[in-house]
Structure 1
């Protein structure tokens, strides 16, 4: 069985080499590429026939940082799953990376078993959010978002669809409703869940095991 391929984008060479050595000890994973920043990585991708399934992305890099690189990859290479790996536990950084398309966010001082768990999560579930990061995201949006709230069936259906990559217009088509009605559901849930944007809806859904 072929291994799941991984690229590392990090300007700290020693860390990247150590990370590569660690991952290559995992049975189902193999590091096939390393780049020192986002620009080098994107340039390299254009010349490669094999794309990595997962990218471990540092945040703070020269020339093109993790935020900008993640946003570009999410738009042009949506099948590549990005896992942020950083020393930065700032709430704004976490939120921005998730908003830009990262499927998970880990701190660099994690135990190797957590990294392995995260890699399998990305492959099997499509995302990985540690409890620490989930709590950080929820708290940053609104403390009361942690509460269980009774949702109507249609609200729950909309919330699950809003947690996908579908546009609001596509959600309206699936639910056989007008875009205006969908806007109403969205604003209603913003108020009910006390969140401010679609990321808040997704985080609430993840936190409460609705998706």
Structure 2
């Protein structure tokens, strides 16, 4: 069985070299390159014949950051999966990476076993999200019987789709011609139905269920 090819993109030299050594020790994976920023990734993808299946992507980088590089991959090489690996835990940053097309989001302080598991899950299932990022993950793909019981009303679905955008809840209320209080009720209803506790959970549900295609 051929190893799964990985490219690491991170501008912190010590961390990227340590990550290279760690991933190289995972028998299923092979590190093709360690790059410093998104521009180097674009150049690498544009000229190399052997491309990675997965890119481990930092976010805050000079010249071309992780969000920009992930957006570029989505438009030019959508078959390459991006797994974000960052110190950033702000909801806005996580949402930006998900909207850009990242298939998972990890914090840099995770245990190596979680990284190993995440790489395998992204390779096999196409995505991986940890509980601490999603703040109670929505229905797992391993529980289809539970998903069948979820019925979304037309306006709930409209609201869910808008949560994936960059609009604030106030702006969503304006688009839907509803009061902020009604929007709050839709949000709380979906939190309960989908068993999530944050906007990130709503966005991930919409992405995983292909309600929104990024």
Tell me the TM-score normalized by structure 1: 0.69
Where structure 2 has 5 or more consecutive residues not aligned to the other structure, the ranges are: 139-146, 162-185, 210-214
After superposition, the Cα gap between the structure-2 partners of 1:137 and 1:87, relative to the gap in structure 1 and judged at 3 Å, is: farther
Query: Which residue is 1:151 aligned to?
Result: 150
Q: Residues 70 and 97 of structure 1 are in contact (CA less than 8 Å); yes or no, is this contact kept in structure 2? A: yes
Q: State the distance in 2 between where 1:123 and 1:103 align.
A: 10
Structure 1 residues 122-171: Cα deviation after superposition (integer angstroms, max 9, x where no partner): 01110000011111888xxxxxxxxx99534998xx9xxx9xxxxxxxxx
In the TM superposition, 1:19-168 aligns within 5 A as 19-135=19-135, 151-152=150-151
Q: State the distance in 2 between where 1:205 and 1:70 align.
A: 16
Structure 1 residues 80-126: Cα deviation after superposition (integer angstroms, max 9, x where no partner): 00000001111110011011100000011110000001001101110
Q: Residues 7 and 31 of structure 2 are in contact (CA less than 8 Å); yes or no, is this contact kept in structure 1? A: yes
Q: State the distance in 2 between where 1:114 and 1:8 align.
A: 17
Count the aligned residue pairs: 166
How much has 1:203 moved relative to structure 2? Answer: 2.4
Q: State the distance in 2 between where 1:87 and 1:153 align.
A: 35
Post-superposition, which runs of at least 4 consecutive aligned residues in structure 1 deviate over 2 A? 148-155, 190-195, 197-207
Where structure 1 has 5 or more consecutive residues not aligned to the other structure, the ranges are: 139-147, 163-189
Tell me the TM-score normalized by structure 2: 0.68
Residue 200 (structure 1) aligned with residue 202 (structure 2)? yes
After superposition, the Cα gap between the structure-2 partners of 1:26 and 1:91, relative to the gap in structure 1 and judged at 3 Å, is: same
After superposition, the Cα gap between the structure-2 partners of 1:28 and 1:154, relative to the gap in structure 1 and judged at 3 Å, is: farther
RMSD, aligned CA: 3.3
